[in-house]
Chain A
Amino acid sequence: MNDRSASASSRRLHFDWLNSLWPWLCAASVALSLLMLGALLTLLVVRGLGHFWPANLEQVTLNSGETFAGQTVREVALPQQEGDERLYFTGNQDIDGARWRWVAIEEIAERSHPVDLIRLERTPWGDFIGRLAAIEQADQRWEGEAAWRHLTTLLALPINQRPDSQLLLSTANGQTLRLPLTNVLSAQAPNAMAWWQKTHAWGEGVWRFLSEGPRAANTGGGVWPAIFGTVLMVILMSVMVTPFGVLAAIYLNEIAHQGRLTRFVRIGVRNLAGVPSIVYGVFGLGVFVYGIGGSIDEWFFSDTLPSPTFGTGGLLWASLTLALLTLPVVIVATEEGLARIPEAQREGAVALGATRLEMLTRIVLPMAAPAMLTGVILAIARAAGEVAPLMLVGVAKLAPQMPVDGEFPYLHLERKFMHLGYHLFDTAFHGEDVQAAIPLVYATALLLVLIVLVLNLTAIFLRHYLRRQRGSEC
């Protein structure tokens, strides 16, 4: 008897002991999710921000006696062979015909970091890596160290005040080349820089990324037009979505008869938030662009007709589509805020003689304001990251004109615009030299994630604050 119960309990113990591993699997899923999220964000931060750090330039001599200069990018195992190979960014596309070079590590005889290696950013051919031999300006000539000092003072001047001068450059393997100063955008001698100079250069690089337009098929320059387009589109969208979303929420919560139909409508609205964004894009293309836009063209812009004005994707249609897409978000958040307001507040106001309008504008809306704000911020966060519908209704790879300029009517709603998310997609997948564009894609992705995360965090804190405040009131 004693024996049997002991064995049973030992079996039970064994069973429990195996079962007690399940919680660990569950805990590991939390840990794995955190790990993936952390890895993604770390990757974006490291690669996105690291790109702007002036990397050291290396002069490599191969076993064959050939020399070249470049920046190490990464090492990969050789296919079908022992050993590794290393990828160098060598620039000088006009001289070498290529910007990248794979070298097997075994073939490298010598590596050094000469202080006089420089890296120039130029407009037609991308980066130059080599040495500065001299600068010629009219009949003056600077050489060696003096030339470099003169170049930095010249580049500090604004572009239109730079004097006509010629740069005499030589590559690591001795080829020479003349370059007019007007083609040079910036110059660096990273091997000669101290860490604080590099930090300064890094800050400048980040700033130029944020404030300049893209260059050289998106492999250089910055994303300023895309930031501008995204922000403008989102502002237009929130101007449209806020009043209508709030109106619909007030109607649903305060005016409509709370019956079965209203409940169905409410569920329907909530579910629309789960409808794929591409469906909204299809709607925007069919109704706004082809339908309304086509009619506007026929009525008002018939003189330009074969080429459409409003009958093609543009800023207005994109922001309208996204407004429709984010409408459920605003309605749901506002309704939540309205439902949270105690009924006694409304009854009190009406009992004191307020009409419904007065009750709404003086009591209910001010109390629900933070909830509305939360809804709008969430809507903006969703819209800023949404790309799929924009591909149908008006985003452009490279918009020749900004949607806002000095020409009447200043805001051009029919123009196409650039968007951070689409810029990322296009650069990463349709670029000519994806290898060269990837660092900038990382930086763009980081920027996009930061914008969206900051917006979301704001909404979360706002909601948290709101709950605490309400909690003390009711």
Chain B
Amino acid sequence: MIPPRLTTPRQPLRLLKDRVATGLITAGGIGVLLAILAIGIFLVWETLPLLAIGDTLALAKLSPLAWGTLKAALAALLFAIPIALGAAIYSALFMSARLRTRIKPTLEMMEAIPGVVVGFIAGLILAPWVERHLASALALIIWLPLSAGLAGLAWQLTKARLRRRLPLSWAGLWLVPWLALMVALALWITPWIEQQWLGGDLRQLLDQRFGMDYATRNAMIVGIAMGFAVIPSIYSLAEDALSDVPTTLIEGAQALGASRWQALWRVALTAAGPGIFSAVMIGAGRAVGETMIVLMASGNTALFSASPFEGMRSMAAAIAIELPEAAPGGLTYHLLILAALVLFIFTFLVNTLAEVVRQRLRRRYRHMGGTS
């Protein structure tokens, strides 16, 4: 029997290569991580001169921008949260598994649509349309949830055979034509209502009665457009949190006499609460930093106004517009970098919080014994 040869003549070379490669990978890896860290360091370094100036007036220039950012993000979240969470609840708890494997990637695909495209549609197509049909647009916001409830009522009243044909687990799909029909109906009927009761022009009425100006590109448009962009990220994370709730929990609640809806509402939603919270946080982070949509759909006037029909200017949009023209080293330059630093810190903190909450939640689920 030949004893295994432990040392070949090439052994030292191999070991040396290994040593060198490990060193290189370590150096490269740490280098990359440092480069990422450099972003934060650079932003802090460039805002330090502002401290030396110590001019509080300069800081006051940032406050309308901060207000604009908050307003845009709030509008987007107001639009996105109900839709995204509703969609997440439905697809995690009610939707048929076969449909879910198709719908989830489709909705996540929404996230990939570039901000410029959404901004273009919002700023140049949607905004003028809403300006001309303000009453219809507002009516749609009220009418669509009502019509969904109407679909539910109608479904309860139909015969069992039809109900089996159009089950709730597929409603996400077959409600699409229903909603399209309802949209068409609302668009057809509102001009008539506007004519009858609102004196023909809602915008004029707003102006005369409440003194509200209407800007073509306003917070409502930004909210819809940016909400559209934020929906997929909230939806995706909230859906993950909800579908990871151990089924034993829901089954246990039902065994103790809860109705299906009670089990879902009280047990599943509560259990997934932190996950849903982190989904909303991440959505907020995205809404605060989104640049192109706000730039194209908001009119970019730095205003302190809470009206949903007036525009705003966000920090991200201000950076995109003003920084290329600002002289490096000047006051505007440092101020804009301060704005970038604020965005950076805010999103970083929000995301870290969300990530920590999610990890803790995952550990808790594992603790409960759910493995799915």
Interface residues, chain A, with chain B CB atoms under 8 Å away: 16-17, 19-38, 40, 43-44, 76, 244-245, 247-248, 250-252, 254-256, 265, 267-272, 274-283, 285-287, 290, 313, 324, 327-328, 331, 355-358, 360, 381, 384-388, 391-392, 421-422, 424-425, 428-429, 434, 438, 441, 445, 448-449, 452-453, 456-457, 460
B36 touches A17 (CB 8 A): no
Across the interface, name the chain B residue whose C-beta is closest to A425. Answer: B116
Q: With A and B bound together, what is the CA distance between A283 and B328 in angstroms?
A: 13
| A247 and B107 alpha carbons, distance in the complex (Å) | 32
In the docked arrangement, what's the CA distance between A271 and B265, Å?
31
Inter-chain contact B117/A448, CB cutoff 8 Å = yes
CB distance from A237 to the nearest CB of B (A): 15
A278 touches B84 (CB 8 A): no
Residues of B in contact with A, size category: 35 or more
Interface residues of A, dominant DSSP: helix
Besides A24-B171, A386-B114, 19 more A-B contacts (Cβ < 8 Å) are A22-B261, A23-B261, A24-B152, A26-B89, A27-B90, A31-B172, A247-B25, A247-B29, A248-B28, A248-B32, A251-B30, A271-B348, A274-B350, A276-B343, A327-B32, A355-B14, A388-B115, A421-B114, A425-B296
Return the chain B residue nearest A280 by Cβ: B39
Contact of B176 among A31, A40, A272 (CB under 8 A): A31
Please determine whether A37 and B288 come into contact, CB atoms closer than 8 angstroms: no
A274 touches B351 (CB 8 A): yes
B305 contacts chain A at the CB level, 8 A cutoff: no
- Closest approach, in angstroms, between the C-beta of B3 and any C-beta of chain A? 15
Q: How far is the CA of A421 from the CA of B116 in the complex (A)?
A: 6
Q: A279-B344, A456-B109 are in contact. Are A27 and B172 (CB under 8 A)?
A: yes
Cβ–Cβ contact B291 & A283, under 8 A: no
Q: CB < 8 Å: which of A248, A282, A387 contacts B116?
A: A387
CA distance A398 to B234 in the complex (A): 37
- Smallest CB–CB gap between A274 and chain B, Å? 4
Stretch of B50-58, B121-129, B244-252 at the chain-chain interface: B121-129
Whether B179 pairs with A392 at a CB distance below 8 angstroms is no
Q: Are A355 and B15 in contact (CB-based, < 8 A)?
A: yes
Are the CB atoms of B340 and A25 closer together than 8 Å?
no
B107 CB contacts on chain A under 8 angstroms: 30, 33-34, 37
- Are A33 and B83 touching (Cβ within 8 A)? yes
Are the CB atoms of A21 and B153 closer together than 8 Å? yes
Chain B contacts for A434, CB-based, 8 A = 124
Using a CB–CB distance below 8 Å, which chain B residues touch chain A? Answer: 14-15, 17-18, 21-22, 25-26, 28-30, 32-33, 35-36, 38-39, 42-43, 46, 82-87, 89-91, 94-95, 103, 105-107, 109-110, 112-121, 123-125, 132, 144-145, 147-149, 151-153, 155-156, 168, 171-173, 175-176, 178-180, 183, 228, 231, 235, 259, 261-262, 265, 282, 285-286, 288-292, 295-296, 316, 319-320, 323-324, 328, 336-337, 340, 343-344, 347-348, 350-352, 355-356
Assuming the A-B contacts A251-B30, A275-B347, A385-B115, are A283 and B42 also in contact, with contact meaning beta carbons closer than 8 angstroms in the complex?
yes
Contacts of A255 in B (CB 8 A): 22, 25-26, 29
Establish whether residues B114 and A429, one from each chain, have CB atoms under 8 Å apart when the complex forms: no
Whether B38 pairs with A287 at a CB distance below 8 angstroms is: yes
User: How many Å from the CB of B135 to the closest CB on chain A?
Assistant: 13
A456 to B29, CA, bound (A): 27
Residues of chain B lying within 8 A (CB to CB) of residue A278: 289, 291, 316, 319-320, 340, 343
Known pairs A24-B155, A425-B296; A453 contacts B316 (CB<8 A): no
Could you pull out 20 A-B pairs where Cβ atoms are within 8 angstroms?
A19-B261, A19-B265, A20-B261, A21-B149, A22-B261, A24-B149, A27-B171, A28-B151, A34-B172, A38-B176, A251-B29, A278-B340, A324-B39, A331-B32, A358-B14, A425-B116, A429-B123, A441-B124, A452-B113, A456-B109
Pick the most buried of B90, B107, B117, B261: most chain A CB atoms within 10 A of its CB: B117
Q: Please name all residues of chain B whose beta carbon is closer than 8 Å to the beta carbon of A331 when the two chains form the complex.
A: 32
Closest chain A residue to B231 by CB distance? A33
The residue from A29, A256, A270, A391 contacting B87, defined by CB atoms under 8 A apart: A29
How far is A320 from B265 in the complex, measured between Cα atoms in Å? 48
Residues of B within 8 A of A38 (CB): 176
B180 / chain A contacts, CB cutoff of 8 Å: 35
Residues of chain A within 8 A (CB-CB) of B291 are: 276-278, 387-388
A106 to chain B, nearest CB (A): 20
The 3 closest A-B pairs by CB, nearest first: A251-B29, A276-B289, A385-B114
In the bound complex, what is the Cα–Cα distance between A66 and B85 (angstroms)?
59
Q: Shortest Cβ distance from B57 into chain A, in angstroms?
A: 23
